[in-house]
Amino acid sequence: MARVICITSGKGGVGKTTVTANLGTALALSGSSVCLIDADFGLRNLDIPLGLGNRVRYHISDFLTGQCALHQVIVKDKRISTLSFISCSNDAVHHDDPQVFGEVVQQIAQNYDYVLIDSPAGIENGFWNAALAADEAIVVTTPHRTSLQDADRVIGLLEDMIPAPPQLIVNMADGQEARSATVKMQDIIDILNIGVTGVIHADVEIIRSVHKGIPIALNPEFESGLRFRHIAHNVAKNQQEPFISLKSKRHISVFSLPQRLRWGKSSSL
């Protein structure tokens, strides 16, 4: 039975879909069987970073309305045999009854190690649909006050819904803005008070990878690719080890690692 993890945020545009595509790719690369479900009914776009748009024939809504069998909505990635993807409808007809959706997710979960659900923004029906179907949640935030406030609200809701404590991914960290426009890592940890599974920097290579439909997690030459693989390792091991860049590794290789591997001012973001 799969671990079912909902990727959510509250605020829109912070990187949920990017994280779902790349975390799923990285987990699948490590040998786990993974199914990614786009639960952003009406505004689906998980097919784009995965580069699987032209392979989608049926949506989960088609299965829910009895128009096809479950196996027909599953798109298998040709690059990674252990990665599958399920799209949802992009029209005004929603099938986001949490109970019905949850039952389908349970059915899907029987055949995988991980099911990742890409949640829509906001805390309306779509959010509940995705969160109630999951037994774990990863909250994505950027280091901006507005995003953190929404993440805080969502974390409060998730804590009442899902027994496992939600985990945090800080996306678009270390961007072009002046430092005074973003919140420092230690302050994010203090404000949200949940475990940090990973940090992804603002990176033009991620935008390029989305454009090409090739998840950056497939490419270990880019630091963001390595960071997504590191997050997958943390998720698999249920741990929150910080990422150490190759540059930092060389720099600190003569020192003892354990004390330096904790989140804090000296940690590598």
Ligand X SMILES: Nc1ncnc2c1ncn2[C@@H]1O[C@H](COP(=O)(O)OP(=O)(O)OP(=O)(O)O)[C@@H](O)[C@H]1O
Binding site for ligand X (CB under 6 A): 9, 12-18, 40, 121, 171-172, 200, 202-203, 206-207, 210
Q: How far is the CB of 255 from ligand X (least distance, A)?
A: 29
DSSP notation for 75-88: EEPSS-TTEEEE--
Nearer to ligand X, 9 or 32 (CB): 9
Pattern 2-41, Mg ion, x by CB under 5 A: --------------xx------------------------
Angle between helices 145-161 and 125-132 (to 10 degrees): 50
- Concatenate the DSSP letters of all residues of 59-124 into one string: -HHHHHTTSS-HHHHEEEPSS-TTEEEE----SS-----HHHHHHHHHHHHTT-SEEEEEPPSSSS
By beta carbon distance, the residue nearest Mg ion is 17
How far apart are CB 86 and ligand X at their closest, in Å?
Answer: 16
Q: Is the dihedral of CA 170, 239, 187, 10 positive or negative?
A: positive
> Residues in contact with Mg ion, total (CB under 5 A)?
2
Q: How far is the CB of 226 from ligand X (least distance, A)?
A: 13
CB under 5 to 8 A by kind: which of Mg ion, ligand X, none does 13 bind? ligand X
Two tokens, residue 92: 């005004």
Q: Which is nearer to ligand X, 108 or 121 (CB)?
A: 121
Question: Cβ closer to Mg ion: 18 or 82?
Answer: 18
Q: Which does 170 bind (CB under 5 to 8 A by kind): Mg ion, ligand X, none?
A: none
Residue 99 CB contacts under 8 Å (≥ 6 apart), including other chains = none
The nearest distance, CB 6 to Mg ion, in angstroms, is 12
Which of ligand X, Mg ion, none is residue 210 near (CB under 5 to 8 Å by kind)?
A: ligand X
In angstroms, give the least distance from the CB of 204 to ligand X.
7
Query: What does each C-alpha distance from 77 to 25, 53, 103, 144, 257 come to in angstroms?
Result: 10, 11, 24, 34, 38
Q: Identify the burial level of 38 via C-beta atoms within 10 angstroms of its C-beta, where 0-12 means exposed, 13-18 middle and 19 or more buried.
A: buried
- Site residues (vs Mg ion, CB under 5 A): 16-17
